[in-house]
């Protein structure tokens, strides 16, 4: 199955390393989260989205539950279902071809800001690793010099 990169997961791994979370604790939590929980959620989601019968059943059940639990929801129901069906049709429609001669302009979006923050955190983490390694090497050299005296 195709894995979408998740910067929050990478950030969580970096922070666990930074705060000294033991490897096995992090690893076991990751295995449980990714192999058991995430996989099953993705499987159910993909099956329900790709199966039109199941998708229609889920839609009808959701409408029934919402209309029975929320008073006055019946008046908004036709508009909401129409919008949902429009979104579904737009999603299932073939994408429009993009001309190849169109230049993309730089986009100052949330994604670019987030990527910059993650990049800066990674660089900070790298600098701290190099610094800690250099300090450890210097300490070993000083211990050797003290042992010789």
User: Tens digits of per-residue pLDDT, 14-23?
Assistant: 888 888 889 8
Query: For residue 85, which of 119, 41, 52, 133 has the smallest C-alpha distance?
Result: 52
Query: Which percentage of the chain shows pLDDT scores above 90?
Result: 9
**Is the per-residue pLDDT at 1 higher than 80?**
no
Find out whether 56 and 64 touch, Cβ atoms under 8 Å: no
Q: Which of 7-11, 74-78, 84-88, 115-119 has the highest mean pLDDT?
A: 115-119
Residue 137's pLDDT is 92
Find out whether 92 and 86 touch, Cβ atoms under 8 Å: no
Please give the torsion angle defined by the CA atoms of residues 33, 38, 40 and 41, in that order, rounded to the nearest 10 degrees: 130
Domain borders along the chain are 102-148
Task: Give the pLDDT confidence of 93-140 residue by residue, as tens digits.
Answer: 777 776 666 666 666 777 788 788 888 888 888 888 889 889 999 999
Query: Which percentage of the chain shows pLDDT scores above 70?
Result: 89
Q: What's the predicted TM-score (pTM) here?
A: 0.37
How far, in whole angstroms, is CA 119 from its chain's centroid? 16
């Amino acid at each position: 199955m195709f894995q979408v990169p998740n910067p929050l997961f990478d950030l969580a791994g970096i922070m666990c390393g930074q705060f000294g979370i033991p490897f096995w604790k992090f690893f076991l939590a990751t295995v449980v989260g990714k192999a058991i929980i995430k996989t099953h959620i993705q499987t159910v989601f993909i099956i329900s989205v790709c199966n039109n019968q199941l998708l229609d059943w889920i839609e009808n059940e959701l409408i029934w539950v919402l209309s029975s639990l929320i008073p006055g929801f019946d008046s908004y129901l036709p508009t909401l279902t129409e919008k949902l069906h429009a979104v579904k049709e737009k999603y299932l429609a073939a994408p429009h071809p993009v001309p190849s001669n169109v230049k993309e302009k730089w986009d100052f979006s949330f994604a670019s800001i987030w990527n910059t923050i993650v990049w800066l955190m990674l660089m900070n983490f790298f600098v701290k690793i190099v610094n800690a390694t250099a300090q450890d090497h210097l300490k070993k050299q000083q211990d050797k010099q003290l042992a010789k005296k």
